[in-house]
Amino acid sequence: MTAIYKRELRSFFVTPIGYVFIAMFLAVSSFAFCMCTLLAGMEASVSSYFTFELVIMALMTPMLTMKSMAEERKQKTEQLLLTAPITLPGFVVAKFLASYTMFAVTFLVTCINFPIMFAYLSDMNLYRYNAVTALGGCIALLLIGAVFISVGLLISSLTENQMVAAIGTLTALAALLAAAIANQYIGFAPLRAFLSWLSVYSRFSNFAKGYFDIAALIYYASFAAVCIFITVRIYEKRRWS
């Protein structure tokens, strides 16, 4: 399992994908950070930065997951991994952790922005409020990253084609986020309740308000776990049919 994890992480850096992801993610996040907090004459808002960050993540994490399963299948290296003495869940989890490490490390680098900004805050009350919001938001985003990557992994395992995996993941993540927007226009109450329960974004809005929502964190973690479980089942099923 560690062998797969290490190889997968390495593969990000022998191909341009790792560098491109890190560079783009840092650049776009920093730009969003400046726009939301440092621009003169505008309200400095940590929560609107987090909303931007959520969209940036949805756009960029498919880059990490698109090849993880699809490429193995296309290159037939999958056969090596699946006939090696490791378990199927071990294989999928190693893949997940490799992509997740890429995301999490890059994301944590963007968080350096917060201490620097807070160092210049003089109002103690404002500091406290913003610091708590920032901490809660970062934790939530780290977990939402796990959700996005597990969705990407699941879709990547369905195809041999990286492009199909990337576009499929983008669509799925866009749908996950758009569920919240679509929600406002749905008249049918039970469906509306279901969508807001499912929506990754609606649950995140609590964090943006500075409210630490443990239920949401559990929801994100379970969402990722279910996606990983389904990916394992997909592989299991392929062996049988």
> In the complex, which residues of this chain contact another protein (CB under 8 A)?
2-4, 6-7, 11, 14-15, 75-87, 239-241
d(CA 18, CA 84) in angstroms, rounded, equals 27
Give Dmax over CA atoms of the chain in angstroms. Answer: 65
CB 72 within 8 A of CB 37: no
CA 45 to chain centre: 22
Instruction: Reduce the DSSP state of residue 6 to 3 states and report it.
Output: helix
To the nearest whole angstrom, how small is the minimum distance from the Cβ of residue 78 to another protein? 7
Q: Which two tokens stand for residue 163?
A: 């492009």
Quick one: DSSP state of residue 45? -
CB 133 within 8 A of CB 47: yes
To the nearest whole angstrom, how small is the minimum distance from the Cβ of residue 73 to another protein? 11
Based on CB atoms, which residue is closest to another protein, 59 or 234?
Answer: 234
Letter for the amino acid at 84?
A
To the nearest whole angstrom, how small is the minimum distance from the Cβ of residue 76 to another protein? 5
Based on CB atoms, which residue is closest to another protein, 53 or 72?
Answer: 72
Based on CB atoms, which residue is closest to another protein, 76 or 124?
Answer: 76
To the nearest whole angstrom, how small is the minimum distance from the Cβ of residue 4 to another protein? 7
Q: Which of 223, 231, 89, 56 is nearest to 155 (CA)?
A: 231
Based on CB atoms, which residue is closest to another protein, 133 or 156?
Answer: 156
To the nearest whole angstrom, how small is the minimum distance from the Cβ of residue 6 to another protein? 7
Based on CB atoms, which residue is closest to another protein, 188 or 237?
Answer: 237
Q: Which helix or strand (DSSP H or E) is residue 231 part of?
A: helix 214-240
